[in-house]
Every structure is written in structure tokens, then in C-alpha cells.
Amino acid sequence: MNRIMTALLVCVALFILLGTACSSSGGNGRQVAITQTDDGCTPQSVQAASGEKLTFKIENQGKKDHEFEGVNGTKVPEVEVPAGHTRTVDYTAPKQAGTTQQIKCYIPNGSTTLITVTVGS
């Protein structure tokens, strides 16, 4: 019976190792600064090269917490940027030139800015 408990513990330990080994904190793309205030986010449009890796550095200068997330299929993980804090998010632009993608930058029940990423050649 101890053997089973040991096996379970080993399983759990393995998972923890797997979980931490796979982690990468990122931040290795071209840095794009996003500024948030209580009135919205700037800039509203971002240019990216085909397949380019970007790292959004989002600084919330307002007094309210902001949300930052990809919409309509844009692969930007949702991140909360509390008032007065800064967050970084990685993003890889699509390969196809001319594609536009959207990121929603908003205060819940408050101002909303749609940031458009346009893929150049």
C-alpha cells in the first residue's frame, strides 16, 4: 500500500518538474510600448513584420485597472494591468502580409480602445 502512495507522490513531483521546466518568461521580441490612461490606450495602431515577435510593454498610468487581450482570434493572452503597474505580453504576428489583428485594451465598464496590428511585408 505504501508503494501506491509513493507512486502517486512521484507522479505529482514529475508534473511539478514538467510544469516548471516548460516555463519561459519571454520578453524577447521587439518591444512595443503601450500606455494606458483612464481615457484609453495609445498607440491605437501597431505595425509588425510578417511573423515578427513583439513584446508589448503595457504601462498603466491611470487610476483604474486595465485589461489587455487579443480579440477575434488574436493570440494575445489576457492580462490584467493594475493601476500604476506595468506588464509585458508576448505576441507573434501572423505570416501573411496585409493581415490585421485586434487587441482590446479596456477598463471593465469603462473606456475601450481597439489596437490594430497591421502586418507589413
Partner 1 sequence: MLFSFLVTLREGVEIALVITILLGYLRSTGQRRYFRAIWLGIGVAAAICLAVGTGLEVASRELDSQVVEGFEGFTMLFAVALLTAMAFWMKRQSRGISAELRAQVDQALGAGSVAALVLLAASSVGREGLETTLFLFAGSTTAGAGVGFVLGGVLGFVVAAFIGIGIYHGSSRIPLKPFFTISGVVVIVLAAGLASNGLAHLHESGLLPNLGARPWDTDALIASTSTLGQFLNTLLGYDSAPALSQIVLYWSYLIVVAAAFLFLPTAAPAARRTPQRTVSSPGRS
30 binds partner 1 (CB under 8 A): no
Q: Binding segment for partner 1 among 28-36, 45-53, 93-101, 106-114 (CB under 8 A)?
A: 106-114
- In the chain, what is the greatest distance between 2 CA atoms, to the nearest angstrom? 63
* Cross-strand bridge partners of residue 59: 35, 86
Q: Which of 38, 52, 59, 65 binds partner 1 (CB under 8 A)?
A: 65
End-to-end CA distance of the chain: 63
Quote the least distance from Cβ 93 to partner 1, whole Å: 17
Output the CA–CA distances (angstroms, integers) from residue 54 to 1, 9, 92, 95, 118, in the order listed: 52, 40, 6, 13, 12
Nearest residue (CB) to partner 1, 55 versus 118: 55
Quote the least distance from Cβ 96 to partner 1, whole Å: 24
97 binds partner 1 (CB under 8 A): no
Which cell is 99 given? 493581415
Q: Which of 6, 31, 75, 80 binds partner 1 (CB under 8 A)?
A: 80
Query: CA 89, CA 96: separation in Å to the nearest integer?
Result: 22
